[in-house]
Amino acid sequence: MKKCFIYHRVSSELQLSGTGIERQEQNLNAYVERINLLAEMDDPEATIISDQGVSAFKGLNMSEGELGRWMDQVRAGMWDDSHLVLESIDRFESPRII
Protein backbone atom coordinates (compact mmCIF):
# COMPACT_ATOMS: atom_id res chain seq x y z
CA MET A 1 0.00 0.00 0.00
CA LYS A 2 1.37 3.38 -1.02
CA LYS A 3 1.11 5.76 1.96
CA CYS A 4 2.49 9.01 3.23
CA PHE A 5 4.12 8.92 6.65
CA ILE A 6 4.97 12.07 8.57
CA TYR A 7 7.72 11.72 11.17
CA HIS A 8 8.46 14.17 13.93
CA ARG A 9 10.73 13.86 16.93
CA VAL A 10 12.19 15.78 19.83
CA SER A 11 15.25 14.41 21.56
CA SER A 12 14.58 14.94 25.23
CA GLU A 13 11.80 14.95 27.78
CA LEU A 14 12.63 18.61 28.46
CA GLN A 15 11.89 19.51 24.83
CA LEU A 16 8.38 18.06 25.15
CA SER A 17 7.32 21.19 27.02
CA GLY A 18 8.37 23.33 24.03
CA THR A 19 6.79 23.75 20.64
CA GLY A 20 9.07 21.43 18.64
CA ILE A 21 6.56 18.66 17.95
CA GLU A 22 3.75 21.11 17.20
CA ARG A 23 5.97 23.18 14.89
CA GLN A 24 7.22 20.12 13.03
CA GLU A 25 3.69 18.78 12.63
CA GLN A 26 2.35 22.07 11.27
CA ASN A 27 5.26 22.53 8.85
CA LEU A 28 5.15 18.95 7.60
CA ASN A 29 1.37 18.94 7.12
CA ALA A 30 1.64 22.23 5.20
CA TYR A 31 4.39 20.78 3.00
CA VAL A 32 2.41 17.62 2.22
CA GLU A 33 -0.60 19.76 1.33
CA ARG A 34 1.44 22.23 -0.74
CA ILE A 35 2.93 19.52 -2.97
CA ASN A 36 -0.37 17.58 -3.04
CA LEU A 37 1.42 14.39 -2.00
CA LEU A 38 -1.68 12.63 -0.67
CA ALA A 39 -3.26 12.66 -4.13
CA GLU A 40 -0.60 10.13 -5.20
CA MET A 41 -1.21 7.77 -2.28
CA ASP A 42 -3.56 4.82 -1.85
CA ASP A 43 -4.60 6.26 1.53
CA PRO A 44 -5.93 9.85 1.48
CA GLU A 45 -4.59 10.58 4.98
CA ALA A 46 -1.02 10.73 6.21
CA THR A 47 0.02 8.50 9.09
CA ILE A 48 1.91 10.20 11.91
CA ILE A 49 5.02 8.57 13.36
CA SER A 50 6.20 10.38 16.47
CA ASP A 51 9.12 9.84 18.81
CA GLN A 52 8.81 12.19 21.75
CA GLY A 53 11.83 12.46 24.00
CA VAL A 54 13.76 9.88 21.96
CA SER A 55 17.35 10.60 20.93
CA ALA A 56 18.71 9.94 17.44
CA PHE A 57 22.24 10.67 18.69
CA LYS A 58 22.19 7.42 20.66
CA GLY A 59 20.15 5.64 17.97
CA LEU A 60 17.20 5.16 20.31
CA ASN A 61 14.73 6.28 17.67
CA MET A 62 15.78 3.21 15.65
CA SER A 63 16.20 0.71 18.48
CA GLU A 64 13.30 1.72 20.74
CA GLY A 65 11.23 4.29 18.90
CA GLU A 66 8.30 4.36 16.52
CA LEU A 67 10.64 5.09 13.62
CA GLY A 68 12.51 1.85 14.25
CA ARG A 69 9.25 -0.11 14.21
CA TRP A 70 8.28 1.59 10.95
CA MET A 71 11.70 0.76 9.45
CA ASP A 72 11.16 -2.91 10.33
CA GLN A 73 7.88 -2.78 8.39
CA VAL A 74 9.64 -1.13 5.43
CA ARG A 75 12.29 -3.86 5.42
CA ALA A 76 9.49 -6.44 5.42
CA GLY A 77 8.05 -4.84 2.27
CA MET A 78 4.90 -3.40 3.81
CA TRP A 79 5.33 0.15 2.53
CA ASP A 80 6.77 -0.13 -0.99
CA ASP A 81 6.44 3.13 -2.95
CA SER A 82 5.46 5.02 0.22
CA HIS A 83 6.89 8.35 1.33
CA LEU A 84 8.43 9.39 4.64
CA VAL A 85 8.28 13.15 5.18
CA LEU A 86 10.46 14.69 7.88
CA GLU A 87 11.66 18.16 8.72
CA SER A 88 15.37 17.45 8.51
CA ILE A 89 17.62 14.43 8.07
CA ASP A 90 18.70 14.85 11.70
CA ARG A 91 15.15 13.87 12.72
CA PHE A 92 15.88 10.50 11.11
CA GLU A 93 19.38 9.85 12.42
CA SER A 94 22.12 11.73 14.13
CA PRO A 95 24.69 13.33 11.80
CA ARG A 96 27.39 11.22 13.42
CA ILE A 97 25.65 8.05 12.20
CA ILE A 98 24.78 9.18 8.66
12: left (phi over 0), alpha (psi -120 to 50) or beta: beta
DSSP-based three-state secondary structure for 34: helix
Which amino acid, residue 33?
E
Whole-structure pTM value: 0.83
Average pLDDT over residues 62-84: 94
> Is the pLDDT at 30 greater than 50, yes or no?
yes
Count other Cβ atoms within 10 Å, centred on residue 6.
Answer: 22
Percent of the chain clearing pLDDT 90 (strictly above): 55
- 69 CB-near residues (< 8 Å, 6+ apart): none
